[in-house]
Amino acid sequence: MVLIFLSKSIQQRTSLNENIFRVNEHVQSDQEPFSIFQRSILEREQKFYMQFMEIIDGKSMVKSLNLCCLGQIRASCNGLVLLENKLKCGGSLVINPVSRKLVPLPPGTISTPRDESFGFGFCSNSEEYKVVHLFRNENGYVECEIINVGSRSWRPTDRPSDGIFSWFGTVPVFAIGALNWIPHSDSSEYIVSMGVDDERFCKIPLRYHRNGRISIVF
């Protein structure tokens, strides 16, 4: 099993001569030159270094991917990582940390981080990756939009039922063809699931255990 995460600093043993792949600089060089505003972002924003933890036979080892970025990890799927694009408000990046191939995504609906959630899944029917964006509109209702990785625009889709979510505090888990959210912070009697193929939401009841905690196992 491999876990990918971001760290504020690389380990001291990392050589100064190592070739650190700077994500935001590479994605920008493929488009247009940096503006003065974007250069100021590159200089002042906290930089994160992507690392991975490999777990074999109960033992773990942390290694560096020699990859630097500005934004947070929004989601991941099959080894691909969805990153926040700090140089474009509301934008995202899909990156393969091994091949370092980048696919920039256009901004979706702008929302505050606490009022939105990103999911990343694979559609077996079309053999395409999809990014799902849930967000609250100005009236407080949860809306949903989806983009196929490689396309140029987001499209609205059926939104979840009213009241089904009270928070977006956890990243959804992609498993068995669906994205799965824990919808409430204190206690949840169900999880919210969205099939990546049919793009439909449903509630999956959870068994009740006194003094227990939610666990999702696939």
**pLDDT, the chain, mean:** 84
Q: What is the pLDDT of residues 151-166, one digit of tens each?
A: 999 999 999 999 999 9
**End-to-end Cα separation, the chain, in angstroms:** 14
Residue 17: pLDDT band with limits 50, 70, 90: very low
Greatest mean pLDDT among 97-101, 129-133, 186-190: 129-133
Task: Count CB neighbours of 118 within 10 A.
Answer: 20
User: How distant is the alpha carbon of residue 5 from its chain centre?
Assistant: 11
Q: What is the pLDDT of residues 41-53, one digit of tens each?
A: 666 667 888 888 8
Task: Count CB neighbours of 150 within 10 A.
Answer: 10
Coil, helix or strand at residue 44: helix
